[in-house]
Structure 1
């Protein structure tokens, strides 16, 4: 995990559940602000929020102090992603690139829509099923421009550098060649995943086509610039919590003791998870007529 570890509070699949990240010194950190965007030259960090094949919509809590991972809530209920034929849950390891932010006040020149107010999303396509809260190093391969309820929601495609086949993947065309059908399945997954909840299909810029590695890296760099403005208080982040331990020039930088106090005030770790509702395993067959 690149020197990072996790600490869970309360029971998984409960409203109170939180997963905190710690650095190599055992200090609590923000996975949003304190993990560097770059692991090394041309290699990015990824924070895994949702392991492949699972349904619980876990995400970095951007409005909580230290931004732990928690389960998304809609209308007071924990959110689970539906199984839309032919898939089970998420079809990649899903997460975010730290130190990025899709600014809701910035209209993207490519999509004509403003950002979704979150770190940029990333889909890791390697063979390993990662763990929630794991921090991995990835090679960026391309990007998809999804429009989610009128907001720009970029989806980066990447592969874990430790994957046995990572050397064979260097751009989006390699995914088309070596995993035929996977990119098409990715578009369909994002197009339809909200339909069982009564929402319309999502749409995409560029006629639903993936852009290449260089384009993706440029988009990531621009969201990193927006994050810098956010964490240095040069732009209004609204309800975003920018508490951090390590970011120089940030007025939100805090002490190790203050970070520990945030976690100490929460319910203790619970070894047993809450029961996942049985209808989460329901299968939806949806076809656009």
Structure 2
């Protein structure tokens, strides 16, 4: 299945939205309507790219909005950028999410001791290509890191684009350690310290910051898919989750309160601002921060 995107509003502003369309040009939700599996028989998953490697704009699927377009996160009324914490520049992977998954905040994970973060499962794609915002890529799962972000479980799946030249050699988290020495340590370091410039403490991790293997990662994704399925089948979404919008055009029947018709979907997009010029990135985004690493 191929997908296209439509920009609305102005890039680098509060108005910016990136809506998704299917191969027939019909609007869909990247959260709900894109399948979790790209090829279940081969164990390949779909990944929606939110943030291309080396960029700083903190883009995310807008889980609380109808059709769940990609938008830029907001902090204190302004669009948010992640800081450059030495030695990193922006995001060090192509960063995104696996559709049709949900980390249920009501479910306390036995391994982490905390509930989910109310978002789809995050993915760090480590291939050689710099992807585009809104691109949907087929990925091979390699392992997973369990970050505890402000008391919530926030899984970070490590994966590689199946079309990447290095994909054939990377089949496990051990292969990443062997063929890309230092990359997993850099990943933990990035997630540990990226909020320090905002005055927040270092993030913590379950399993002493060690990555779990591919089988553990796949099972984590499957559990999150089960939570998502229960969510979209519920008629009480508002009470089941913190303001999530489950409107979709494919997975619900016409009788479902979550079903969105083609006309309704178009009306959602038409209410947003037309695509305009890109606003400049604030000069502060290019600032670097240095923090001595704790032993």
TM-score by length of 2: 0.96
- 1:206-256 deviation digits (Å, cap 9, x = unpaired): 010000000000000000000001111166123100000000465301111
The residue aligned with 1:238 is: 242
| Unaligned residue ranges in structure 1 (runs of 5+) | none
Give the length in aligned residue pairs. Answer: 287
Cα contact 1:4–1:22 (8 A) shared by 2: yes
- 1:133-164 deviation digits (Å, cap 9, x = unpaired): 00000000000000001000000000000001
Shift of 1:121: 0.3
The residue aligned with 1:157 is: 158
The residue aligned with 1:214 is: 215
Following TM superposition, where does structure 1 have runs of at least 4 consecutive aligned residues deviating by more than 6 angstroms? none
- 1:150-187 deviation digits (Å, cap 9, x = unpaired): 00000000000000110111110010011110000000
Cα contact 1:232–1:251 (8 A) shared by 2: no
Equivalence map 1:178-193=2 (5 Å): 178-193=179-194
The residue aligned with 1:7 is: 6
Cα contact 2:252–2:258 (8 A) shared by 1: no
- 1:97-154 deviation digits (Å, cap 9, x = unpaired): 0000000111011100000000010000000000000000000000000000100000
- SS of residue paired to 1:147: strand
- SS of residue paired to 2:138: strand
Equivalence map 1:24-103=2 (5 Å): 24-41=23-40, 42-103=43-104
Cα contact 1:233–1:251 (8 A) shared by 2: no
- SS of residue paired to 1:175: helix
The residue aligned with 1:117 is: 118
Q: CA-atom RMSD, angstroms? A: 1.0
- SS of residue paired to 1:94: strand
| Unaligned residue ranges in structure 2 (runs of 5+) | none
